[in-house]
Amino acid sequence: MAETPYSRLEKLFRRLSALADAEAVLDWDQAAMMPRGGATARAGQVAELRAVRHGMISAPETGDLLDAAEEGDGLDAWQAANLHHMRRRWTHATALDETLVRALAEAESACETAWRTARPEADFAAVLPSLQAVLDLVREAAAAKAGTLGLDPYDALLDQYEPGARAEDIDPVFDELEDFLPGLLGEVLAAQAAGSAPTPPPGPFPADKQRALGMRLMEAFGFDFDHGRLDESLHPFCGGVPEDIRVTTRYDEDDFASGLMAILHETGHALYDRGLPRAWRGQPVGDAIGMAVHESQSLLIEMQVCRSRPFMDFAAPLIAGAFSGKGAEWEAGNLHRLAIRVRPGFIRVDADEVTYPAHVILRYRLEKAMIEGGMEAADLPGAWNQGMERALGITPPSDREGCLQDVHWYDGAWGYFPTYTLGAMTAAQLFQAADRADGAIGEGIARGDFAPLLAWLGENVHAKGSLLSSDQLIIAATGRPLDAGAFKAHLKRRYLD
């Protein structure tokens, strides 16, 4: 059969996907395995890969093929969606020249390497020059994309992670949550104070035992260790590719729940990646539609499922067994109360559901100000601490617990943060719809049978890939557009009823 413009594009994007997959594994290696001395070589490798990919997608021939394919007909719904996402990626890529692409890759690698030393030492000054260099280049890229896309610079960055999302739509939603959450937090804290506090199980909790427990629960959710692995890194993440998924966490031997919940959170990401449509591997339509839906899958598993009482009925014996624990503090009721204990804290990835949005909204407002030029990198520690005091009434004791805690800005991920709270809202709305559709889901969770839930998610979310937009997917799955209603109702039910 003769090649068509569309089939030639599929071949091109399959090659682009293979190169992106190689970079993803290199990124995991840098975070989890690479010796510090390899940083300069790795920066060069990543920069070269990005330059090659940029040259391939931005070549004049690619634009011509897109034009020709869009003028043709005979594409089915999946192919048409694929072509749409090809055009979108081409538009983002051609907004930048190769020199900027290389410079960004090198600056991000250097900054992330500096952050890995600066964070444990709470030394923001050590990473500041690298962060400012990244910020300057990200601003340049944002301005270039803004001109091409006809968007504000911050929206041009946001569009990379959540296609179609705009700050003017996010702001009122975050304003609504900021109006709602402080009152809820006060009620929850008062209710907790009026009752007896749960009892933390006695430690220490050796990291090897935490890892074994995490792997046992990952397997219960269906994680396939023939197609993935669990490692350690300074910041938990899920990387790699659908056939080779790399999950990482960090362990605290005084608090097993921190590392365990991070594992379960990242397992949600992994299940989504593995469930994406196999027939479209290597094509844009076969990828996740955006990071709000991606974060919804991790937060659905961690928050909606794994902090529920039915889950703890299943998991408590496994947790106790992992650490040879005996006594009331290891029982499901006590472990569940610990899992939903609300307490304003400094670290986002350890935050409870009630305070978590405050962490995200703070980061959203700060990164937006930095991209728009109202703040410089040097202003970040002071602005961060002031924001935490306003939002949660606490001030970080050092930058380690403050503006150094997340890797995102240091490795160039600007415009990502609002997807976390959009994801939490989406998770609540999806879980509500799933539970209504299949009454066996809750019963299954209580006995460690997650197949009913995963079947519903597989059909309604995972297998859709990028066939639909995020808005279309949520409406199709839940019957209505995304709003804060299900999330707010969930919080009231779990923490006040």
Task: Return the active site residues.
Answer: 266
Q: How much helix, strand and coil, in percent to the nearest 5, is found in the chain?
A: 70, 5, 25
Cβ 203 vs Cβ 255: under 8 Å: yes
CB 464 within 8 Å of CB 473:
yes
E-strand stretches of 30-89? none
Nearest to 371 by CA among 101, 145, 110: 145
Cα angle for residues 461, 86, 150 (degrees, 5° grid): 100
CB 428 within 8 A of CB 472: no
Which of 232, 303, 243 is closest to 270 using CA atoms? Answer: 243
- Residue where the block lists tokens 């209603």: 485
DSSP code of residue 201: P
Q: Are 204 and 253 in contact (CB under 8 A)?
A: yes
What CA–CA distance (Å, rounded) separates 435 from 446? 14
Partners of 228 in the β-ladder:
245
- Considering only CA atoms, which of 126, 102, 103, 125 is closest in space to residue 114? 126
CA distance linking residue 345 with residue 364, whole number of Å: 18
Strands (E), 193-311: 228-232, 237-241, 244-249
What is the residue-wise DSSP string for 239-276? EEETTEEEEEE--BTTBHHHHHHHHHHHHHHHHHHHHS
Nearest CA-CA partner of 298 in 145, 420, 452, 125: 420
